[in-house]
Amino acid sequence: MTITAAMVKDLREKTGVGVMECKEALRESNGDMEAAISYLRKKGLATAAKKGGRATREGLVGSYIHAGGKIGVLVEVGCETDFVARTPQFQELVKDLAMHIAAASPLYLSRDEVPPEVLEKEREIYGEQARNSGKPEKVIDKIVEGKLEKYCSETCLLEQPFVKDPDLTVKDLISQKIAQIGENIQVKQFARFQVGRD
């Protein structure tokens, strides 16, 4: 099948990926647009994994204020170059992340940041709940591990479903942007403020 410039342009607009990658994706998928998008997503996640170890010394601090000034967020997102930090795609990602943090209220950046004593306390609570509900002892460990997984997906920013597209985690969203932009991107830190919260 002949891959036309219009097809490449259409795929670029839908994905934000470069011309050569779009041509390759369309060739690999025999011109099928949906298959080409899927191909680019799979390839992008692999690309993101390769770029994951590169230093992110540039970036932006983004902010978001919501609910009449009752909730505010600051987030630092790093990238490799100042050039990328000034691109609309990167700025949009920073804005989306700040908005997500305001809405989803994560407590930690990643699972690694959850203090061991917090996990231990949660483990005890879930174990006690399972025992009190009469569950057999042999399944309690599985129940506890499942609830710990859910706890991490609710409280760790990178594991939360992205508020604008719950089919993606925040980590998946960042991986897609890494594939589009071609640089490593990392959330460095964030702070969420809410009026009246002790």
Chain segment 3-48, per-residue pLDDT in tens: 888 888 887 767 666 677 788 888 888 888 888 877 776 776 545 5
Residues 70 and 85 in one domain: yes
User: Is 179 exposed, middle or buried (CB count within 10 Å of its CB: 0-12, 13-18, 19+)?
Assistant: buried
Residues 65 and 35 in one domain: no
Residues 87 and 67 in one domain: yes
Instruction: Give the residue ranges of DSSP H helices in 52-136.
Output: 82-85, 88-104, 116-132
Residues 76 and 171 in one domain: yes
Residues 95 and 172 in one domain: yes
Cβ neighbours of residue 50 closer than 8 Å, sequence gap 6 or more = none
* CATH number of the domain where residue 35 is located: 1.10.8.10
* CATH number of the domain where residue 64 is located: 3.30.479.20
Residues 16 and 100 in one domain: no
Host H or E run for residue 146: helix 137-155
Cβ neighbours of residue 161 closer than 8 Å, sequence gap 6 or more = 153, 167, 168, 169
- pTM > 0.75: no
* CATH number of the domain where residue 128 is located: 1.10.286.20
Q: How many domains does the chain have?
A: 3
Whether the CB-CB separation of 77 and 97 falls below 8 Å is answered with: yes
Cβ neighbours of residue 35 closer than 8 Å, sequence gap 6 or more = 28, 29
| Per-residue pLDDT reduced to its tens digit, 119-163 | 999 989 998 888 888 888 888 888 888 999 999 999 999 999 999
Residues 149 and 83 in one domain: no
Give the Cα separation of 48 and 46 in Å (integer): 5
Q: Which domain holds residue 16?
A: 5-51
Residues 164 and 138 in one domain: no
